[in-house]
Amino acid sequence: MCRAALGERWLIERAPDAGLAAADRWQLAAAEVLLRYRLAQLRGVTLLSKSDVASDVATLGLERLSSATGEVRVKLGKFARASGLIELAAPVGRGGQVGLRAIDLTRADREKSWRVAVKLDDADDINVRMHMLAIESARLLHRVPSEDEVVRMKRRTQLSLDALVALAKGTDARTDAERELLFKQATMLAPEAALVWYLQARQLHATGQNLEAISAYRRAIRLDGEQTSYHYDLANAFFDERRYAEAATEYERAISLDPSHAPSHENLIRVRKRQGLKPDAVLAKYRELTSARLETPVVHLQVGRLLVGMKKLPEAIAAFREAVKLDASDPIGQFNLAHALEQAHKEAEAIAEYKRAVELAPNYAKAHNNLAFLYEKNGKETLALFHYQRAVKFAPDYALAWNNLGILYGKRGKHRLEVEAFRRQVKLTPKDPVAHFNLGVAYHRTREYKLAIASYKKSLELKPDDKLTHWHLAQAYERAGIWNLANDHWRKVLSLNPTPEEKTTAERHIRENTAR
């Protein structure tokens, strides 16, 4: 008898980007996992996920929970709009219960749970029950999977238990060589399953074996060519091999399968730039490709971003407004509109749009940071402090937000908190001379001169001829009573094209220190 394992990880593929997929189009990840694969045989593989603040890309992540009830939480990235929780009750005999709890993170009242009984040794019964869960949970978010989607999902369930176990062991392997061997074993155990070839390709790609990865991606596509992620990842492998024409073809194929797949749009534009096209030519080609997809918000987002790069802010703002008009629930669209308005010095409008972005996605760290910056610029420091704090809460690895928070703490005289903020920034960006300089200033203010000196010196290791850092280091040495070293740095200031006022001050300090 097959029994579903408790507390295992679940096999899941990359899903549409959270910020760009509105609730009425989002495919609920938890339901799709259960629908795609036989629950009784699922032993667990998780594809890596990431949330990239810089590019606003948020992909699906999967978290393992150590729970006696076998809970497995599926969640979106930092800019999440929805979440699902799968609960597998302990089986009794041949039967068991599977529950699914769907939550729309943008509205506290949009939450619902379902529970169905299943026969754990009956794959057909499991598929039927999981289909029911998928339909019910998707309705909560105003989307019902189409018949074609259901067919495609079921087509990828042809994985033997042995193949799934090999995939599971491969995911938990400690070395790339062991992982690659187990994934290869899975392709031998299930040679007609597109998914195993796709996972093998991703492993090869991750270890830099791009040509082998391309071959495996192509095998997966021959078996199941309707998967956006297969074409997208094949395009990435071509990109890494600098085979830009082939990469462009695959990105275009991914877009044809899923016009809202933002990473394919973004990378297609990157490819065009790598091919040496000028910005206006890139824009013209992109508009030609997407002329029949003007109802897709991501198209207007990409056009707007290209126009921003071309310094055509009025046209960019118009493109972003069209994207927001098509999907008013997308925080990424709101953010891009706000950022363009900010660059156009329309700060009041920008603040309103940033506020809208964080209302749609309360954990949108980049929007909190930018909103805080505008509040600070306009003298509203209390509001700025609140949003900087929210930014680092939701994205603890967001170095720019820690920098901005540290500066504001310094302005408000909270120097211990200033030190802590800049320490976090230095830890995140150890090769940034400005981060070390800022930490030195913070230590200077707390009268920890030895620590200030160490930070200034580290900054100068990275940027040796920075006049301002030499100036501050000279002052720190004076505070520490080390007059000769202070003078060394005052003399360095004199060698770095000082203003008349700086020259006078440095010469005065040298005279006074020499006389001590």
Q: What is the mean pLDDT of residues 458-480?
A: 96
Q: What is the dihedral angle through the alpha carbons of 139, 143, 147, 149, rounded to the nearest 10 degrees?
A: -120
Domain with CATH 1.25.40.10 in the chain: 290-363
pLDDT at 223: 87
Element (H, E) at 95: strand 95-104
- pLDDT of residue 138 exceeding 70: no
pLDDT, tens digit, 9 for 90 and up, residues 45-62: 222 222 322 222 222 222
Alpha-carbon 394 to chain mean position: 12
**Position 351 confidence tier, pLDDT thresholds 50, 70, 90:** very high
Least confident of 80-94, 162-176, 282-296, 335-349: 80-94
pLDDT at 170: 64
Classify 84 as helix, strand or coil.
strand
**Position 172 confidence tier, pLDDT thresholds 50, 70, 90:** low
Highest mean pLDDT, choosing among 48-57, 169-178, 231-240? 231-240
- pLDDT of residue 370 exceeding 60: yes
Question: How open is the CA angle 152-154-158, to the nearest 5 degrees?
Answer: 115
Least confident of 61-75, 159-173, 347-361, 390-404: 61-75
Q: What is the mean pLDDT of residues 130-158?
A: 49
Gap between the Cα atoms of 329 and 106, Å rounded: 10
- pLDDT of residue 294 exceeding 80: yes
Residue 296, both tokens:
């897709």
Q: With contact defined as beta carbons under 8 Å apart, do 454 and 477 qualify?
A: no
pLDDT at 55: 24
pLDDT, tens digit, 9 for 90 and up, residues 176-194: 888 788 878 878 887 887 8
What percentage of the chain reaches a pLDDT higher than 70?
A: 66
- pLDDT of residue 158 exceeding 60: no
Gap between the Cα atoms of 476 and 385, Å rounded: 29
pLDDT at 24: 26
Considering the four listed CATH numbers 3.30.565.10, 1.20.1440.230, 1.25.40.10, 3.40.50.1980, the one that applies to the domain covering 290-363 is 1.25.40.10
Higher pLDDT, 19 or 428: 428
pLDDT at 66: 24
Q: With contact defined as beta carbons under 8 Å apart, do 263 and 57 qualify?
A: yes
- pLDDT of residue 17 exceeding 50: no
In the DSSP assignment, the letter for residue 496 is S
Sign of CA pseudo-dihedral 207, 212, 213, 216: negative
Which pTM does this prediction carry? 0.67
Higher pLDDT, 263 or 247: 247
**Average pLDDT along the chain:** 75
pLDDT at 435: 96
Phi, psi of 74 (to 5 degrees): -110, 125
Gap between the Cα atoms of 206 and 225, Å rounded: 22
pLDDT at 134: 52
Q: What is the mean pLDDT of residues 80-86?
A: 38
pLDDT at 125: 59
Gap between the Cα atoms of 105 and 81, Å rounded: 5
Highest mean pLDDT, choosing among 174-183, 199-208, 419-428? 419-428
Strand 57-58 versus strand 61-64 pairing type = unpaired
Element (H, E) at 74: strand 72-75
Q: Residue 236 CB: number of other CB atoms within 10 A?
A: 21
